[in-house]
Amino acid sequence: MANKVRIGVLGAGRIGQLHITNLVQAVPGAEVVAVADPYLSDAAVELCKGLGIENVSKDPEIVFGNKDIDAVFICSSTNTHADFIIEAAKAGKHIFCEKPIHTDLAKIHEALDAVEKAGVKLQVGFVRRFDHNHKKVRDVVASGRLGAPHIVKVCSRDPEGPPMSYVEVSGGIFLDMMIHDFDMVRYLSGSEVTEVTAYGTVKTDPDYAKYGDVDTAIVMLKFANGAIGVIDNSRVANYGYDQRTEVHCDKGCVQVSNDLDNQAMISTREGVEIAKPTWFFLERYNDAFITEEKDFVDAILNDTEVPVTGHDGLMPVIIAMAAGKSLKEGRPVKLSEIEG
């Protein structure tokens, strides 16, 4: 392979445009040669042209049928992910797919089987693993310096909720929002989740209940290594994007707080002022997006393992399904009940 990975992007919405921009401007080993989206907007077309990408279409065949394309970025709606993975694998193209792979376990396994059969690489877009703060927590725990993990805590709160048109098709808070946190607790603890107990309620907008969803949730977890954990989510934190992690271990604790708009602390007679957290995930995690893109491209160029595998994409979906079942039935649910 040449010293660049030629990439086709499927999906040119908010996340697709972010990846396109990063790949062109910040990933030297990447070359975006085609972009396809059946709902292609004028803004997306203009963005692509401004970045020098002329091959833009509503037809994904410009990606799958192009033999010069080495890899695809799947940034389309969730219900297309597995089918696009299967088609890309059959075409012999490496795959980066935004989370989740799918909301149906049989479809996920079909996609993973296609990837294995084709011998291509698949990386799933759990971007928080590439954040400098969360990675430090993981590295400290994995080093063994603090001993065995006892408690894993993740707080994740959005500054504002999504539109109800999105909530209607999102799959619910566990499959949509908390799925990132399910990946994080596996990543931070170095262990698989074995059991979950979920609690949820509607606190910010009664319309969530119309779609069988909640906007505020807590999930307690048990891990195979004996640790326990807790995740809390809120769709609305009016002070900004709240992202905190902590692992308490035998010999100590490692934790990280939010990235703030700035690090200035103003102290006066009246009190102490600091900045609020960054407002949204595109600001909070843009450097992490670039790192995950670089790592995917490097894995192809150097023929090494991708940092987030298909298995890593599967497990948070199983945990999310267990959480949904726990909330509905009001009891702890073992992951073996979802997929034995």
62 with 135, same domain?
no
167 with 225, same domain?
yes
Q: What's the pLDDT score for residue 208?
A: 96
Q: Is residue 51 pLDDT above 60, yes or no?
A: yes
Q: What's the pLDDT score for residue 293?
A: 98
Number of domains in the chain: 2
Residue 190 domain flag = yes
Residue 33 domain flag = yes
104 with 237, same domain?
no
Answer with the one of 120, 146, 177 that is the final residue of a domain.
120
Contact (CB, 8 A) for 167 and 213? yes
Q: What's the pLDDT score for residue 240?
A: 87
Contact (CB, 8 A) for 69 and 96? no
Answer with the one of 62, 86, 120 that is the final residue of a domain.
120
Residue 305 domain flag = no
330 with 187, same domain?
yes
| Cα 30 to Cα 35: distance, rounded to the nearest angstrom | 14
Tokens 């479809």, residue located: 107
160 to 56, 157, 220, 238, 240: CA distances (angstroms): 32, 9, 24, 7, 8
78 with 161, same domain?
no
Q: Is residue 1 pLDDT above 60, yes or no?
A: no
Question: For 155-178, what is the mean pLDDT?
Answer: 92
Question: For 90-99, what is the mean pLDDT?
Answer: 97
103 with 133, same domain?
no
Nearest of 218, 184, 185, 222 to residue 201 by alpha carbon: 218
- For residue 229, what are the domain limits? 129-281+316-337
Residue 306 domain flag = no
98 with 167, same domain?
no
ω before 100 within 30° of 0 (cis)? yes
87 with 23, same domain?
yes
107 with 227, same domain?
no
Answer with the one of 77, 103, 120 that is the final residue of a domain.
120
Q: What's the pLDDT score for residue 2?
A: 67
**The residue type at 3:** N
324 with 225, same domain?
yes
pLDDT digits (tens, 9 = 90+) for 97-154: 999 999 999 999 999 999 999 999 999 999 999 999 999 999 999 999 999 999 999 9
176 with 240, same domain?
yes
Residue 293 domain flag = no
Contact (CB, 8 A) for 301 and 1? yes
pLDDT digits (tens, 9 = 90+) for 262-307: 889 999 999 999 888 887 777 789 999 999 999 999 999 999 999 9
Question: For 241-256, what is the mean pLDDT?
Answer: 96
Residue 27 domain flag = yes
Question: For 297-320, what is the mean pLDDT?
Answer: 98
Residue 298 domain flag = no
Q: Is residue 320 pLDDT above 70, yes or no?
A: yes
How is residue 69 written in tokens?
């394309």
Question: For 304-329, what is the mean pLDDT?
Answer: 98
Round the average pLDDT of the chain to a whole number and report it: 95
32 with 139, same domain?
no
Residue 43 domain flag = yes
The CATH number that applies at residue 64 is: 3.40.50.720
pLDDT cut 70: percent of the chain above it: 99
- The string over 196-205, giving b where at least 16 C-beta atoms fall within 10 Å of a residue's C-beta and e elsewhere, is bbbebeeebe
Q: What's the pLDDT score for residue 183?
A: 98
